[in-house]
Amino acid sequence: MSRPRTPEPALDMQGDAPRATRNEDDADRTQHSHRMLNFSDALLSIIATVMILPVTHTEISPEQQFDKNIQKLLATRIAVYLMTFLIVTVAWAAHTRLFQVVGKIDDTLALLNLACMMTITFLPFTFSLMVTFPEVPLGILLFCLCVITIGAVQIARSTHRALCRRHVLYIVLRGPALCFAAAGFSLFFYPASYLLMATVIFLPYVNKAASWCRQRLVGPQEPPAHSVEVFTFDLQEPLSKERVEAFSDGVYAIVATLLILDICEHNVPDSKEVKERFHGSLLLALSETGPRFLAYFGSFATVGLLWFAHHSLFLHVRKATQSMGLLNTLSLAFVGGLPLAYQQTSALARQPRDELESVRISCAIIFFASVFQLAMWTAALLHGPDTLQPSARFGGEEHAFMLAKLALYPCASLLAFACTCFLSRFSAAIFHLTQVAVPFIFLLLRLLVRLALRVLRALPGLARPAPYPQDAAERAPLLPAPC
């Protein structure tokens, strides 16, 4: 990871005696916080994606594919996954912001952090409980209890770090307070509980969107001295780029390996079964699970390449703005749907008529997962010149290359989707061909981009885009660039 951003020591604890080894102390402190935050990110990325497991494990045979009940079950599970993903991301963002404020991290804080993490791990379960038993107060009570406990641990942390300023406490306590009210309402009027809980979850995003609209209409405003956004200490303060990367890496790694976990656990052939059903031929037994392996190959390749595009994107930006954070969340949520999509596509590959829908859904999911990455790039471009690295500013080859990387998957999936409309009988072949072609195109992308740029420049009448003055020394299209 790049060097961690050292937070402003404005709210650091006073009273520590100066020490001879202050530099090493600082290095220790930074190392201490960075590793702890990485561990928290790993834990939270696992918890954010946990509800993709019931989705992926929803076995849908070809006959059941159009069964309303199964479709309803799958839709419910997908909705639960998306909501828990959102909830855990909100909790992760709040955690990130609190640590951007907290200066020094010591043992007690690390232990309190573990307690906080454990409480957050209960959010998906309590949410599922609420969805399965919407009218029963117990589900709502348990969910609110989790949020209140998280708030209590945050208070303990802030107290320990002497951060007892009113506005920090106000922000940390607002979510738990709303949940406390929701818990009260659950005993006699549960719709109000759901409204209050939705406020807690969606308010950060609604506020960001409202502020963005306000900025566009009225113009940039001076941030208030004490921001009162729930879970966002300062609306202008972007999330730490390293933590966005760490959280995203966790999600990508989990989703990429989701199907191999199942293969390792359930698809090692049983020796008795191989004797009886396949007359001792292990090869035949493995061929039966062939579609699952194909699904895993495709899933890993796609998720890996989406990670690669994400990684290139973040190499070229200097900071992650809030709109980028939101778009990142949306992209990751769709990435989580890929294992199921590939599984269904491969499972139904033998019945051409049934797989058409699966292929289209897979194309749609890949499209949305990748187009939100492209939107992140656009948001970075629109935010201002200091968001991008100099080498990637508009007009250079690096910029074109970056655009090509991010546009490849949206274009490929759109193309595949369009082809299935005309050549629906060959939808599986089209899909698999796209899957195989895209990695090779990624490998050859730099050459293709250079070719395209030369062709474009050679076309008469097309004016060259005006370069930034400082780019003049850097625009040397024939030199290899690191990324």
What residues between 383 and 442 interact with a second copy by CB under 8 A?
Answer: 389-391, 439, 442
SS3 7: coil
SS3 372: helix
Closer to a second copy by Cβ: residue 215 or 271: 271
Number of residues that bind a second copy (CB under 8 A): 100
Q: How far is the CB of 121 from a second copy (least distance, A)?
A: 5
Positive or negative CA dihedral for 201, 204, 209, 210? positive
Binding to a second copy (CB under 8 A) within 42-61 occurs at 42-43, 46-47, 50-51, 53-54, 57
Q: How far is the CB of 353 from a second copy (least distance, A)?
A: 31
List the one residue from 169, 286, 411, 441 that touches a second copy (CB under 8 A).
286
Q: What are the CA-CA distances from residue 329 to residues 27, 191, 247, 379 (Å)?
A: 31, 27, 10, 14
Binding to a second copy (CB under 8 A) within 90-129 occurs at 104-108, 110-111, 114, 117-118, 121-122, 124-125, 128-129
Element (H, E) at 378: helix 352-383
21 belongs to the binding site for a second copy (CB under 8 A): yes
Distance CA 345, CA 157 (A): 48
List the one residue from 132, 215, 221, 236 that touches a second copy (CB under 8 A).
132
List the one residue from 85, 87, 139, 375 that touches a second copy (CB under 8 A).
139
List the one residue from 169, 253, 414, 429 that touches a second copy (CB under 8 A).
253
Binding to a second copy (CB under 8 A) within 442-471 occurs at 442-443, 445-446
- DSSP string spanning 234-283? -TTSPBPHHHHHHHHHHHHHHHHHHHHHHHHHH-SPPHHHHHHHHTT-HH
Token look-up 């040397």 returns 476
Binding to a second copy (CB under 8 A) within 211-230 occurs at none
246 belongs to the binding site for a second copy (CB under 8 A): yes
Q: Which two tokens stand for residue 431?
A: 């899909």
Which segment (191-199, 256-264, 321-329, 411-419) binds a second copy by CB under 8 A?
256-264
Q: What are the CA-CA distances from residue 23 to residues 20, 29, 348, 459 (Å)?
A: 8, 10, 61, 58
Token look-up 């699952």 returns 292
12 belongs to the binding site for a second copy (CB under 8 A): no
Give the closest residue to 363 by CA, choosing from 409, 295, 304: 409
List the one residue from 178, 196, 256, 406 that touches a second copy (CB under 8 A).
256
279 belongs to the binding site for a second copy (CB under 8 A): no
Q: Which two tokens stand for residue 356?
A: 């058409």
Closer to a second copy by Cβ: residue 5 or 177: 5
249 belongs to the binding site for a second copy (CB under 8 A): yes
Distance CA 136, CA 141 (A): 9
Closer to a second copy by Cβ: residue 107 or 222: 107
